[in-house]
């Protein structure tokens, strides 16, 4: 007489896979230390405010950048923890009503207003096309 075997999967027995959580312990301590050091350096790097430009100056640079297709650097008129954000490299893709549409280096399209721009300048086109 042959015995009938019953097979059950771990899922049927109630096993819950922890997914990525089980692999976190394998991260190298050197890598973790390097990541935390990089995060602290970013916090310490304070961005100096550039001179605030008038809306007319900003508009002129935006118009020229749009018509020539030249990339620009924008310093946002926004403070975070008492410091300004790094300059944002972008290209003007268009406008609608009071919104200005910009393409970032990663291809993402964002919009802003004139009042949100503190300083704007042209950037080296070769720097725009550099990888990284």
DSSP assignment string, the chain: -PPPP----TTTTT----GGGGGGGGS-HHHHHHHHHHHHHHHH-PPPPPPPPPHHHHHHHHHHHHHHT--EEEEES-EETTEEPPPEEEEEEEEETTEEEEEETTS-EEEE-GGGEEEEEE--HHHHHS--
pLDDT for position 9: 73
Tell me the pLDDT tens digit for each residue of 24-39. Answer: 566 566 667 777 777 7
pLDDT for position 82: 79
- Domain boundaries defined on the chain: 55-127
User: How far is the C-alpha of 106 from the C-alpha of 89, rounded, in Å?
Assistant: 10
Tell me the pLDDT tens digit for each residue of 76-85. Answer: 988 877 788 8
Tell me the pLDDT tens digit for each residue of 52-110. Answer: 999 999 999 999 999 999 999 999 988 877 788 889 999 999 998 889 999 999 889 99
Select the more confidently predicted residue: 112 or 2. 112
Looking at the structure, give the CATH architecture of the domain made up of residues 55-127.
Roll (2.30)
pTM assigned to the model: 0.64
pLDDT for position 132: 58
């Amino acid at each position: 007489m042959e015995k009938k075997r019953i097979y059950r999967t771990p899922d049927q027995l109630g096993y819950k896979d922890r997914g990525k959580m089980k692999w976190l312990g394998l991260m190298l301590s050197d890598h973790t230390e390097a990541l935390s050091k990089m995060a602290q350096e970013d916090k310490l790097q304070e961005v100096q405010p550039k001179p605030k430009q008038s809306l007319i100056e900003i508009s002129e640079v935006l118009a020229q950048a749009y018509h020539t297709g030249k990339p620009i650097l924008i310093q946002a008129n926004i403070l975070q923890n008492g410091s300004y954000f790094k300059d944002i490299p972008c290209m003007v893709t268009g406008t609608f009503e009071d919104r200005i549409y910009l393409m970032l280096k990663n291809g993402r399209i964002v919009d802003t207003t004139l009042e949100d721009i503190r300083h704007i300048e042209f950037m080296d086109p070769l720097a725009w096309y550099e990888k990284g």
